[in-house]
Structure 1
Amino acid sequence: MADPHDPRVPATSVLFGYGPMLPLVVGGAGAWLLPWPWPLWAVQATILWGALILVFIAGVRRGFGMGNPGASTAAEIATMLVYFLLALVAIAVPRLSLSLSLLALGFALVALLDRRAAMSGDAPAHFARLRPPQMLVGIVGLAAALARTLT
């Protein structure tokens, strides 16, 4: 088991951190490059995948709080709820551009809040280095899909 106080990013976190961001980039590219009606489906798949990732990250944060007695339970629950609710609303709203915007906001919050939590002991220490660039990859894919919905 990885030491939650070790700031080095484990190889598994690189693989399972950046790997799930790739479908968002592919979806964003597909929204621009595929023939009709595939761009619409690429955008919808990007929304669904982005929401699933955000819900998963919410669970990771809550799980760390449950498993680490030094973590702030209140902070973990609040953060988990923000991530989860953004994902839920992104799936529920009928406007694709609003869904993508909410997910991009959620990913930006993950980059900021998980980094801050890592520095205070409320998340694994390596999240301070992992989350900002990891979430940026996802935001790029979401932004590409968003730009397509606005054209």
Structure 2
Amino acid sequence: MRALVQRVTEASVEVDGAVVGQTGPGLLVLVCAMAGDDEDGADRLALRVAKLRIFRDDGGRMNRSLLDMGGGALVVSQFTLAADTRTGNRPGFSSAAAPDDGQRLYERFAVSLAAQGVTVETGRFGADMTVRLVNDGPVTIWLDTADRA
């Protein structure tokens, strides 16, 4: 699975003009299930996100995790993280998981992250969403479970 993790002071996601998920200080996590991903990968990614030390400690260094600082997470599905841009001008998405698998793993990731003690809100899988955020830092981190396979 892939995730683009952004440290935020606030973030929200809207569907049809209505806010369906939001967070204050914490993380916006854009998540994509790839073909061949499984529940174990979703659980491992959730643990990595919960423990990722990208929040400032008292000395101003990035040394605290989401769990340490008690922040929330807004989790939004984004299959475009599977984009293959190696050739041509139009990205391909054939490496993304099939929609049913993608939704199942996205939901598993969100539940697994919440099980770590993180307050989690989500977008709506497959919907046309508007995401608003205030990136803090800015800090943006790319995670891919394939990197640790």
**TM-score w.r.t. structure 2 length?**
0.31
**Hey, which of these two has a bigger chunk of helix by percent?**
1
Name which one, 1 or 2, has greater alpha-carbon Rg.
1
**Hey, which of these two has a bigger chunk of strand by percent?**
2
**TM-score w.r.t. structure 1 length?**
0.31
